[in-house]
Structure 1
Amino acid sequence: MAQTIFNHLNDDQKTGTKHIYFNQSQSQPYISGEELYINDYNASGQQLNGELDLGSFPNFHKITFHYAIRFNILESIDISKNEKLSRIVIDGQNSGFLESNSFTLLVKEIQLDRIIVSYYENKGSWLKIEKYLRKQTIIPYRLVEDKKLEAEVANLKQSIAQKDQTIVQKDQTIAQKDRTIADLNQKIQQTPTLSQFQELNNIVLSCTDLDFNRLKQEIKKLKLKDFNPHFQEQKNHFEQLTSTTKNKAGDSLTAILDLFLQTNKQIIDSENVSSNSYTQGQLQGQLVTCKTLLQTKFTPDELQNLLNKQKELKELEKQSAIL
């Protein structure tokens, strides 16, 4: 592995390195001041090969490649951990750089627009070119996973999701408060004011002092004055309808008709109190049975009309009890 070429360097030398120079020569890497020189051949004459990771040199900011280096069996140079690296230079006239080298730079996405590559290009004359790593084509690169960035993105997404949830909850709270305010406003509008009570009192009791209990009794009297004749009329009508229906039913079905009406009365009464579904089911079943037997002499519409009239009378009886 190419990584073993750094075994003789200590930590201070690694952290103190500011510039790495890949040189065309034959020797092991060596330090000169703040520069680290890495040669394409080692002291034994073997070409550098495998994978080279520069992560143990955290502070260097520049790489220089000698234009004539020969890294044709070196697979990759990993610079993905070198956050301070900002410039890569290929010095000299490097027309054969691509042909002499087969390594790939391993980088993070964020480095593509941070690192500038400087090299010479022959366009009739040799011109110095500078491009961001993303734009240049003289050194191939491959992106590696940025676990730190991925973790930050995941945390950011989670934070955004939590904030969105908080906003939704706040919106729901505001909406609930708006509904409460609207309900209160509606109740306020529906609640009579003192002046309205006084006006009503003047109409009913001819301008006497406002006495709510007396006003209430007078209103009930007025209500009963109109209600009682109507109630009695509906009661008489139902009794007449029941009598006519019994005459039509004859002796054979009168008992069934009585049970039919009694069952419907129980169903109406049970609607106003809590009753279990089993009892309701029994009553409905009994009503259907009676209805089936009665249909030998009555149409379904006639029977339903009788039930409707009975229910209307029960509602009037409830109102009468309140008054």
Structure 2
Amino acid sequence: MVQPVDSVFSPKSGCQRKEKIMKRWKKVILIVGLCLSFSGLIFVQIGYKAGGFQSLIENNTKEERFALQEKELHSFTELEADFDTLDISIKESDTKQAYLSYYNIKDHSPLKISNRDGRLRLTENRKVTSPYKNRFRLVSIRDLIFWLQQKLTDQPNDPYQVILYLPRGSKLDKASLKMNSGDTKLARLSVKTLSLEAKNGDVSISGSTFKNGKMTIRNGDFKTAHSQFQNGTVLISNGDSKLSTVSMDSCAFESTNGDIKIEEATVTDSQFSLKEGDIKAKKISFKGINTISNQNGDSKIELASYNLFVTAQSQNGDSTVSGKALTHYKSDNRLTLSNINGDIKVR
């Protein structure tokens, strides 16, 4: 009896053949992968015994484009820095003397250093940094080894970063920083008068104290934590701001385009002004006379204490204020919120 054609060439038999072929290929791929992995381990072991990684580091050091430099500094009370593309970081150390840490580029220093009459002046040597900072290049093995060296040691994370180490407890009378397209990081810095201008770059401040000063950030984010600001002005054109565990006394904070986020703060006789962006605050206390004005954005405030009187008004939006913030109308602590387009919520 002749079988029907459909039974001989059924879809089921075709699927079975495909499954067998796939299983064979899986076995082949698995075997090849195991062989390559085993061979790789053998070559790694051979290279390690031959001093391969150390040799790569030594060869990399000989032909290195960047060479780490450390320069001790005489004592000073004033600081001036004018950088075009370099980043700057100021932090404390356990050393008795201040010192600089940076990288020479092709055996040339990216810095011009002057330390006279108690004033330290740092100026970027643009002839050295300009040809390399923004040049596109492929990542090489040398770059990977250089990155590993940075991660395994206390070297700057960026060859275009300058780190100024100050002895623990140092205090400066004046600090003037002008940054064109580099980031600024300040940690545990105590300054009477601070002047900071950042055109294109982020600003990060932690554990620092400033009695007077002005910070202007055109394009970049602003972050600060565990810091104190007095008699200061912060102007931000384009960028978000985050303030954590801060104290502000007699300060003005203006943001043209960006959000402001505050987590745990004590604000005294200060003003916040926003044109485009939201302001959100948690665990915040107000003392004296304070104002928050917002043209286009929402204002949400969570108070840490209700020992104040709050007034709020929005032209095109809802205003909601907790009853606890309305009972102390005779209090010397005041907070006035005004919005043009946006909601106000205080609780």
TM-score normalised to structure 1 length = 0.24
More strand by share: 2
Decide which structure has the larger Cα Rg and report it. 1
So what's the TM-score if we normalise by structure 2?
0.22
